[in-house]
Amino acid sequence: MASYIKETETEIVLTHPRDSSTSVRILKYGATILSWKVKGQEQLWLSEKAILDGSKAVRGGIPLVFPVFGKSEGHETSQLPQHGFARNSVWEFLGQVESDPLTVQFGLGPENISETARCQWPHDFTLIFTVSLPSEDSLSTSLEVENTDKQPWEFNVLFHTYFRIPDITQTHVEGLTGTQVTDKVSKTNYAGNEAKITIAGEVDRVYSSPSTPDSVAIVSGSKTLFNVQNLQNLKDVVVWNPWTEKANGLADFSPKDGFKNMICVETGSVSKYQTVAPGAKWSASQTLKSHL
């Protein structure tokens, strides 16, 4: 294996071939990206009390949501835990698939999930999660979903990205005008026409577009911190920040004022279920670009 890919029993670390200060660290449990550094600076928020031993989903980084977002009462996924089983299962490291850009893959199938999850969602499937470093300041992730069953089935997908930011009160999100908003805090639905989405309390919203957004920006003051771009098959964007009360109620959220330095901007397909036919594949991807 190339010297810029390091594997341990529990993790994979990629270092950019042209810049050793750019790296990404991936936990095999959940295929969860724990760290993404650009010029040596951390770009993702990870709770100081994040549990990395496989006993529960990781609080922070980029957890993978599949085959359900949240809980879906009355649907065949309703017995599954919140956000499904992908983030709670140990993925197989499939190795390097490209050198330029440096790219690795992880795989998950029925043989990798718990018996409980298998009983709760008894479908045959293959997931391939791809992580690459296309440049010194960007990170790309993609997920391929294949139905290896004899019947069609439905699913949600989400990249649950926790971005690290300097100050939530000075941060806003751009690029989500012309959307329909499902606000889970106020329990309302409305047209998303805000050019700048600011955060001044608990936020838990799904912004749904008729087509995939070109780019979503996370901005601090007048400076763009991140672009979420090159989106494929990801028409929904979740914006989440727990704020004070919710953060205090999350045992693995630390420090308790950590909400001031994070914002989740999560691309996915969650407002409606995707259906994949037997033998068919569906894929989605995103690129995160940092502006240091």
Residue from 92, 245, 266, 291 carrying the catalytic annotation: 266
Distance CA 276, CA 155 (A): 8
CB 40 within 8 A of CB 20: no
Please indicate if the annotation marks 59 as binding a ligand.
Answer: yes
Closest C-alpha to 130, from 191, 62, 185: 62
Burial of 134 (0-12, 13-18, 19+ CB in 10 A): middle
Distance CA 258, CA 164 (A): 10
Distance CA 134, CA 132 (A): 6
Closest C-alpha to 43, from 224, 170, 226: 226
Please indicate if the annotation marks 82 as binding a ligand.
Answer: yes
Q: Which residue has the tokens 């649950």?
A: 160
Q: Which long-range contacts (CB under 8 A, 24 or more apart) does 251-254 make?
A: 251/49, 252/47, 252/49, 252/50, 252/51, 252/56, 252/59, 253/47, 253/49, 253/59, 254/47, 254/48, 254/49
Q: Are strands 102-108 and 125-135 parallel, antiparallel or unpaired?
A: antiparallel
266 is catalytic: yes
Residue from 160, 174, 202, 245 carrying the catalytic annotation: 160
* Residue 163 tokens, joined: 């971005």
Distance CA 45, CA 31 (A): 16
Please indicate if the annotation marks 118 as binding a ligand.
Answer: no
Binding residues for substrate: 59, 82, 87
Binding-site residue numbers are 59, 82, 87
Catalytic residue annotation: 160, 266
